[in-house]
């Protein structure tokens, strides 16, 4: 494999249709992400059937645009990489089927990639581009709308070749799901992470009503469903219908309300609730990462997934009092994208470890190296 080798990455595991062209040096020649947010936000979450239909509609123009932006023909590619799982079966199938078609027609290898490994490679790619060394073994925390997983990652044989051990995961909702459900419960709409992130800074966090659950069995595991329930109870104990209605009307009026518009329809008590939620969820993540660092002796922490965009989480894990250096990808590479899928395929290209045309969606695909 030469440094000029280029991989076309394709990602369709959830509600983003994405394609990217990345080379072995880590240079991104194109990255196209077509979001389905407008379609799913009406329902307060991702509707799998609608996601598959939208991927079908978008996959051809998205891949074509990526190749055009990269000024690249199929014959210039060394491989096509596609998310094989975990994710929604029907959504994954669209990307996999299209990638197989490209592989067959262009005579280039097909590489099925684990979406979670993709998120981890978003951080490795940033480090490679900035010639920065990540200290191994590292903890890898993936925090998104579908996942809350904590791994121990050690170096494998080749460059950027890692081996993983699952240390902890959520037993119920993912942390992004908790952000989204708290937001929907209070009329902020879907997705909730970005708006709660902005507004929480204007509230004063109290201890109530959120608590960090203590986990039987593996104490490093997470549980976020209690946060949603606490927000629902908090809302039920108050007369918030008019306040919530005002926020719904704001969302109907404007696709992307400004901070000032949100603040106009969000009284202090609600801002304090959002601050408490963000603080407790952050305390929970930080405590588990500290415990995992102490338990494993890992020398750094890498964080990826949509919730890695959260400003408070970035600040607390990058604080000098946190016991290890914490690395985050730039925000566009934190949320779902295809750059990370192409990046994760390079070690496999170097090993000539290709997928056959029997590659099928693996909705529950795991990451641990057996």
Smaller CB distance to ligand KG4: residue 18 or 67?
Answer: 18
Query: Rule CB under 5 A: which residues touch Zn ion?
Result: 144, 336
Size (the chain), residues: 370
- Shortest CB 126 distance to Zn ion, Å: 16
> What 3-state class would DSSP assign to 186?
coil
Other Cβ atoms closer than 10 A to 152: 20
Judged by beta carbon distances under 5 to 8 A according to partner kind, the member of Zn ion, ligand KG4, none in contact with residue 224 is none
Q: Distance between CA atoms of 51 and 92, rounded to whole angstroms?
A: 10
> What 3-state class would DSSP assign to 51?
helix
When asked if residue 282 is in the footprint of ligand KG4 (CB under 6 A), the reply is no
Interface with ligand KG4 in residues 82-101 (CB under 6 A): none
Smaller CB distance to Zn ion: residue 144 or 270?
Answer: 144
Q: Please give the span between the terminal C-alpha atoms of the chain, in angstroms, as a whole number.
A: 26
- Shortest CB 25 distance to ligand KG4, Å: 25
When asked if residue 176 is in the footprint of ligand KG4 (CB under 6 A), the reply is yes
When asked if residue 197 is in the footprint of ligand KG4 (CB under 6 A), the reply is yes
Is the four-CA dihedral 171, 169, 225, 323 of positive or negative sign? Answer: positive
CA nearest 40: which of 145, 152, 136? 145
CA nearest 11: which of 38, 32, 25? 32
Smaller CB distance to ligand KG4: residue 112 or 145?
Answer: 145
Cα 368-22-1 angle, rounded to 5 deg: 80
Q: Distance between CA atoms of 365 and 368, rounded to whole angstroms?
A: 10
Smaller CB distance to Zn ion: residue 148 or 355?
Answer: 148
CA nearest 81: which of 370, 288, 367, 347? 347
Region from 24-32, 78-86, 157-165, 185-193 binding ligand KG4, contact rule CB under 6 A: 185-193
Judged by beta carbon distances under 5 to 8 A according to partner kind, the member of Zn ion, ligand KG4, none in contact with residue 197 is ligand KG4
Judged by beta carbon distances under 5 to 8 A according to partner kind, the member of Zn ion, ligand KG4, none in contact with residue 176 is ligand KG4
Region from 69-77, 128-136, 150-158, 189-197 binding ligand KG4, contact rule CB under 6 A: 189-197
When asked if residue 117 is in the footprint of ligand KG4 (CB under 6 A), the reply is no
> What 3-state class would DSSP assign to 79?
strand
When asked if residue 309 is in the footprint of ligand KG4 (CB under 6 A), the reply is yes
Q: Distance between CA atoms of 354 and 348, rounded to whole angstroms?
A: 7
Interface with ligand KG4 in residues 127-156 (CB under 6 A): 144-146
Other Cβ atoms closer than 10 A to 207: 9
Query: In this chain, which of 52, 288, 335, 355 binds ligand KG4, going by CB under 6 A?
Result: 335
Query: In this chain, which of 7, 8, 10, 14 binds ligand KG4, going by CB under 6 A?
Result: 14
16-23/28-35 β-pairing: antiparallel
Rule CB under 6 A: which residues touch ligand KG4? 14, 144-146, 176, 179-180, 191-194, 197, 305-307, 309-310, 335-336
């Amino acid at each position: 494999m030469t440094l000029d080798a280029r991989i076309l990455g394709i990602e369709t595991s959830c509600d983003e249709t994405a394609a990217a062209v990345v080379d072995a040096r880590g240079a991104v020649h194109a990255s196209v992400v077509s979001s389905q947010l407008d379609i799913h936000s009406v329902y307060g979450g991702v509707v799998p059937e609608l996601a598959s239909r939208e991927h079908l509609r978008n996959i051809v123009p998205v891949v074509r645009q990526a190749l055009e932006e990269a000024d690249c023909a199929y014959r210039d590619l060394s491989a096509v990489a596609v998310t094989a799982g975990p994710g929604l079966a029907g959504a994954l199938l669209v990307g996999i089927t299209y990638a197989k078609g490209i592989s067959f027609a262009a005579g280039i290898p097909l590489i099925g990639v684990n979406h979670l490994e993709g998120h981890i490679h978003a951080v490795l790619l940033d480090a490679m581009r900035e010639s920065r060394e990540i200290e191994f073994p590292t903890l890898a925390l993936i925090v998104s709308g579908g996942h809350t997983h904590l791994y121990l990652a050690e170096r494998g044989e080749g460059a950027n070749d890692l081996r993983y051990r699952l240390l902890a995961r959520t037993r119920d909702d993912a942390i992004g799901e908790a952000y989204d459900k708290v937001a929907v419960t209070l009329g902020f709409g879907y997705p909730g992470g970005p708006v709660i992130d902005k507004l929480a800074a204007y509230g004063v966090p109290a201890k109530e009503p959120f608590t960090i659950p203590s986990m039987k069995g593996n104490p490093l595991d997470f549980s976020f469903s209690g946060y949603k329930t606490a927000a629902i109870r908090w809302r039920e104990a108050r007369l918030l219908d008019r306040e919530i209605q005002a926020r719904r009307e704001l969302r109907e009026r404007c696709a992307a309300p400004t901070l000032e518009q949100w603040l106009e329809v969000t009284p202090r008590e609600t801002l304090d609730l959002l601050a408490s939620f963000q603080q407790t969820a952050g305390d929970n993540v930080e405590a588990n990462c500290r415990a995992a660092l102490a338990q494993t002796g890992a020398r750094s922490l890498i964080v990826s997934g949509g919730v890695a965009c959260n400003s408070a989480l970035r600040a607390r894990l990058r604080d000098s009092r946190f016991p290890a250096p914490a690395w985050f990808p730039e925000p566009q590479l934190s949320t779902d994208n295809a750059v990370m899928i192409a990046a994760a395929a390079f070690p496999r290209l170097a090993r000539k470890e290709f997928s056959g045309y029997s590659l099928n969606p693996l909705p529950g695909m795991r990451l641990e190296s057996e």
